Amino acid sequence: MQFIRINMSEQTVKVEDVPQDYVGLGGRGLTSIMINNEVPPTCDPLGPENKLIFAPGLLSGTSLVNTSRISIGAKSPLTGTIKESNAGGTVAAALGKLGITAIIVEGLAPQGKLFNLIIDQNGNAALQAADNFKGMRTYALVEILLQDHGEKNGVLCIGPAGEYQLSSASIQSSDVDGRPCRAAGRGGLGAVMGAKGIKAIVISRQGKNPDAIADPESFKESAKVFAKAVKDHPFSGQMLGALGTAGLVSAVNSIGAFPSYNATKGVFEGWEKISGEALAETIQKRGGQTTHMGCSQCIIRCSNVFVDDGGKYVTASLEYETIWSMGGMPGIDDLDVIARLDFLSDDIGLDTMNTGVAIGVAMDAGYKEFGDGQAAIELMEEIAKGTEIGKVLGNGPAAVGKHFNHHRVPVAKGQSIAAYDPRGMQGNGVTYATSPMGADHTAGNLVGAYLGGVLNPLEAEGQVKASRKAQISMASLDCTGLCLLAGAALAAPDVSEALLKMINAKLGTQMGADDIPALGIRVLKAELEFNRNAGFTNKDDRLAKFFYEEPLPPHNKVFAVTDEDLDNTLDFK
């Protein structure tokens, strides 16, 4: 239970016991509550007052499956709001095993200076000059770092986009094979890391000092229940292993909510060429891996390894949101191009969603043709080079809309929506509009309810309630380090009880069932408070205008949830 506080202005590293106020918090709960306590809400996100906080979940580092999600928090340079961006890979489990509750990066390195932070198997942390890594893309960087420090390390790092402090810059996280192909993409937190002057954090995966579990037997028993439920659930146990998240392409297209050609259509003409089925077939034919373990302790294996027609590695893992943002939005129906764009995003250090949507907006504005994959690849290289147009694109869809005077910019609070159109899935629109994170599907995704037929996606009725519930659930789940895909199993009462028991067993607490949503509400309240103090009002809790005005084919609906209903969504007073 230790904090590592790094002051980049003075390049000091301080290890401290977790202060009493923060004991029992992990993941998003810890990052959001700390940021609300410690970061001045009106500060410059790229200035010295902002803090960049890395926190594994409460259950990361334990034996429980699928608990290697790391929460990264800061004030976002993209949205201006508080932000938690969540990534898989190996580092959350690694930090848990080292007994490190959070890494807190403060201050700013002297301009132009770059450092790596190295954390060894005993939990000792040290800064090392990294000027020689300047400008390096992430795959090359991580290869060298793992050579230098050993393969049994996890890496968090930024690419050129983070060094340029672009608003779509990601923090890349290495997978179990040592590839920086997992991303904390949302909110431009790579720009914050770049501003702080940190190129990479190398974390030993060989720690043997996890926080004690108060009741190991109870924990073990419930962990088994949970793992079995994840395996048995049709979504996490079957569909995801077979098709990955890409299985959603055909499903969301079938209900007309797959935003295509910069959200002018809800069905993508070429969806069959980029569906999960097409992806699996392509990978299989070429000898890639249709299923693959990307994150420590993962039993879902939604990951895949995409190879070219010569069998050579292109990218891992090609996921639903990327197939949408780099496929549907710019109108590209070629999996090879999409896979290349995914790799480039990881390598340059960019959020695939914000970047694909930015390219889609530029195409819609007439800068390039929809469907021109070669142009999209060239635009990615412009971002990598930091050219004028590259910077505009790398700052995301809102910057592109401003640059080209284009009104159709599918964002909320400056961040792109995800692969669920708010006109075809109205409740996801409620989440985009009201989440303290800006448009973020992981803050409360209702796709399961729509595909399962329990909620009509096209009517306003019932959406606010469903979004509120999902947002509260996600805010508590994001505290645990659990993957949201594993979270599907939690709908069953015995599984959610198992989760409660594990949290109690880990912390030695006696929480009841109500305490889990109460934790989610506490986290959301801290986030909302930060945003209010940063100057946000309910006027900001709105989608881009065109969602209210331009009907989306094939259902030809507009976003129909009223402002009053949006304002009630997270009104906990």
Q: Is 448 helix (H, G, I), strand (E, B) or coil?
A: helix
Instruction: Decide: is 69 part of the binding site for a copy of itself (CB under 8 A).
Output: no
Instruction: Decide: is 46 part of the binding site for a copy of itself (CB under 8 A).
Output: yes
Site for a copy of itself in 511-540 (CB under 8 A): 533-537, 539-540
Interacting residue with a copy of itself among 13, 47, 553, 565 (CB under 8 A) = 47
Instruction: Decide: is 388 part of the binding site for a copy of itself (CB under 8 A).
Output: yes
CA distance 316 to 391: 26
Interacting residue with a copy of itself among 13, 389, 511, 558 (CB under 8 A) = 389
Q: Are strands 82-87 and 289-292 parallel, antiparallel or unpaired?
A: unpaired
Binding region for a copy of itself (CB under 8 A) out of 17-25, 214-222, 389-397, 421-429 = 389-397
How would you write 285-340 as a 3-class SS string? HHCCEEEECCCCCCCCCCEEEEECCCCCEEEECCCHHHHHHHHHCCCCCCHHHHHH
The DSSP string of 452-488 is TTSS-TTSSTTHHHHHHHHHHHHHHHTTTT--TTGGG
Which is closer to a copy of itself, CB of 164 or CB of 226? 164
Residue 399: name the closest of 444, 432, 357 by CA.
357
Site for a copy of itself in 397-416 (CB under 8 A): 399, 402-403, 405, 407
Site for a copy of itself in 175-234 (CB under 8 A): 195
Tokens found for residue 148: 């230098």
Residue 166: name the closest of 417, 416, 384, 402 by CA.
384
Instruction: Decide: is 165 part of the binding site for a copy of itself (CB under 8 A).
Output: yes
Instruction: Decide: is 361 part of the binding site for a copy of itself (CB under 8 A).
Output: no
Residue 191: name the closest of 220, 162, 234, 225 by CA.
162
CB of 101 to a copy of itself, least distance (A): 31
Residue 518 makes CB contacts below 8 A (sequence gap 6+) with none
Integer CA distances (angstroms), 299 to 81, 241, 267, 389, 404, in order? 34, 9, 32, 42, 45
Report which secondary-structure segment, H or E, holds 164: none
CA distance 474 to 69: 13
Q: Give the x-and-dash track for 26-45 against a copy of itself (CB under 8 A).
A: ---------------xxxx-
Instruction: Decide: is 391 part of the binding site for a copy of itself (CB under 8 A).
Output: yes
CB of 46 to a copy of itself, least distance (A): 6
CB of 361 to a copy of itself, least distance (A): 14
CA distance 362 to 342: 18
Instruction: Decide: is 147 part of the binding site for a copy of itself (CB under 8 A).
Output: no
Return the exposure string of 521-531: e unless at least 16 CB atoms fall within 10 Å of the residue's CB, then b: bbbbbbbbbbb
Binding region for a copy of itself (CB under 8 A) out of 62-70, 83-91, 96-104, 385-393 = 385-393
CB of 467 to a copy of itself, least distance (A): 21
Report which secondary-structure segment, H or E, holds 399: helix 397-404
CB of 489 to a copy of itself, least distance (A): 40
CB of 419 to a copy of itself, least distance (A): 25
Instruction: Decide: is 50 part of the binding site for a copy of itself (CB under 8 A).
Output: no
Which is closer to a copy of itself, CB of 92 or CB of 350? 350
CB of 549 to a copy of itself, least distance (A): 9
Handedness of CA 551, 555, 557, 559 (dihedral sign): negative
Instruction: Decide: is 105 part of the binding site for a copy of itself (CB under 8 A).
Output: no
Q: Which amino acid would we find at residue 347?
A: D
**Helix (H) and strand (E) counts in the chain:** 23, 17
Which is closer to a copy of itself, CB of 409 or CB of 505? 409
CB of 411 to a copy of itself, least distance (A): 13
- For a copy of itself, how many residues bind (rule: CB under 8 A)? 30
CB of 181 to a copy of itself, least distance (A): 27
Residues that bind a copy of itself (CB under 8 A): 41-44, 46-47, 164-165, 167, 195, 387-389, 391-392, 395, 399, 402-403, 405, 407, 533-537, 539-540, 542, 545
